[in-house]
Structure 1
C-alpha cells in the first residue's frame, strides 16, 4: 500500500529573525525570533511596557528594526489591515460614520477616487455587519467607545486585508460590542485571514485564540496558548519587566 502523501507545510506569512526594536537607540524588544503562519489566530500578551505596540509598529513599517529582519513573505506593509489603539483615533475630525468606514476602500480607489454604487453598497453592508446601520451620517465624535470600535472594524472589513493587526481592540467597550467583534474575528479566521491581536484579558485569549506570543521585552513563550500563558511563563514575564533597566546605555546606531 502506498503511504499517503503529507501536504507540505505552508510558508510563513511573517518571519521575524533576531529582531531588535527601539527608540533613540534604546531597545524596547530584544532578539525576537518567530513565525506567523497563514491563517493564524495569534494573541500578543505581556505586561505594560513589554513592547507589544512597538512590535506592531514594526510590522506595519512605521518603525525600522535596529537589528534583524522582518520578512512579510512578499506582502507589502501598505496592504496590512491595522486597527490602532482607541486613544490614537482623532474623534474631533469632522467626518461622519459613512465616510470614515469608506476610507477602508482608499487603497483600491485612491484618496481622491469617487465611490461607485457598488462601493457605497459595500460600505452600507460593512456598517450593517458591525451593527451600525442607521448611523451613516452621525459624526464620529458622537459615537460611544463601543460604537467607535465597531466603526473601525467596518473600515477593516472594507480594506479586505489578508493580515489584520488589532492593537487592544476591546479596551473600554461594552460586553455586547466585545461579543460581536469577537464573532467578526472568528469569521476572518474562518475565511483564512491571519489575525494578530494585542490583548490583556487572559481568559479571552484562552477561549478564543489558539496561539499566543508572551512578550516582555523579549520572547518569553510563543506557541499554543495553554503553554504560553502558563503560570511559569507569566511569572517570568513579570520578572523580566521588573528587572529591565530603562536607563541602560543606548545601543550603537544600526547600519
Structure 2
C-alpha cells in the first residue's frame, strides 16, 4: 500500500477559543503505528480533529501529500457518538462503504457480504439485525472496527478506542490494529494506558499542549519526558494569548 507521510509544520490549534496545541512539528511516517499520549487536556483529541481536516489551524500547516480527508478512517471517542439513532449493526457497518456507494446509494449484495465478513472478523457473527443501542460498549466498539474494515482506508485514526471496554475486546481489537500495521496502513491512536502503548505501539508522540517527544516509544516515554509533560500540563494557562490570530486551513 503506497502512502505519503503526514507532516506537521509549526502547527498551533485553538479549541473553544482557547489555545490547545502550540507549535507542533513532526511526521507520521507511512505505515507507522503511533500512539499519541499525554496528560488529560494535553490537546490530543484536538490534534486528531486537525489531522482529519475538521479543525482550522491558527498557524502552521499539515501536509498530507495526495491523501484527502475522505480517505482517512476515523473512530471518535465513544461519548461523541449518539447511539439512539435507529440503525442496525449491519447498517452501521455498511456505512463504511459510502465512498463506493455514495451518501444515498444502496448497498449491493457484495457489500452486504463484506459487512458480514467484517462482523465475523470482530466476533459479532449473527448480530446483523441487532439495534446499535442494544449493544454493550465493547460490542459497539467491535461494530465500529468492522465499519473500518469495510472502509479499507490507508490511514486509520482512533480516539481512545479502548476506554471503558472489556479486556477481551481490547485484545481482539489490538489484533486488528496490528493487522492494519502489517498491511502497511498508517495507524494513529490516542491512548492513556502507557503500559498498553509500550506493549503495542512502536512510535509515540508525547503531547502536553506542545510536543514533548516524538519517536520510538521507549525513548518518548522516558521518566524525564513524562515528568516534563506533567509539569507542562500543570502550568498551562488556558487563557494565554494565541501566537497568531489569522486562521489558515491545512494543505
Query: TM-score of the superposition, structure 1-length normalised?
Result: 0.94
CA contact (8 A) 1:25 1:250 kept: no
Give SS of 2:25's match: strand
Tell me if 1:192 matches 2:184.
yes
Alignment of 1:40-189 (within 5 A): 40-189=32-181
Q: Does 1:28 align with 2:10?
A: no
Gaps of 5+ in 1: 1-9
Alpha-carbon contact 1:12-1:35 (below 8 Å) kept:
no
Give the deviation of 1:253 after TM superposition.
2.1
User: 1:26–1:251: 8 Å Cα contact kept in structure 2?
Assistant: no
Counterpart contact for 2:3–2:154, Cα < 8 Å: no
Match for residue 3 of structure 1?
A: none
The question of whether the paired residues in 2 share the 8 Å contact of 1:42 and 1:197 is answered with: yes
User: Any idea what SS the aligned residue of 1:127 has?
Assistant: helix
Q: What's the RMSD between the two structures over aligned residues?
A: 1.3
Distance in structure 2 (CA, Å) of the matches to 1:189 and 1:146: 22
Question: For 1:31-50, what per-residue CA distance to the aligned partner results, in whole angstroms no more than 9, with x for missing partners?
Answer: 00001111000000000000
Match runs of 1:233-248 below 5 Å: 233-248=225-240
Q: CA deviation at 1:247?
A: 2.2
- Deviating 4+ runs (over 6 angstroms): none
Equivalences, count: 246
Report the Cα offset of residue 27 of structure 1. Answer: 1.6
CA drift at 1:191: 0.4
Structure 1 position 117, deviation (Å): 1.4
Deviation at residue 25 of structure 1 after TM alignment: 4.7
- Equivalent-residue separation in structure 1 for 2:243 and 2:179 (angstroms): 43
Larger-gyration structure (1/2):
1
**Higher alpha-carbon deviation: 105-114 or 138-147:** 105-114
3-state SS of 1:121 partner: helix
The equivalent residue for 1:201 is: 193
Q: Is the 8 A contact 1:28 1:217 kept in 2?
A: yes
Q: Where does the alignment leave 5 or more consecutive residues of structure 2 unmatched?
A: none
Q: Distance in 2 between matches of 1:89 and 1:25?
A: 23
Q: 1:100 to 1:49 in 2, by over 3 A?
A: same
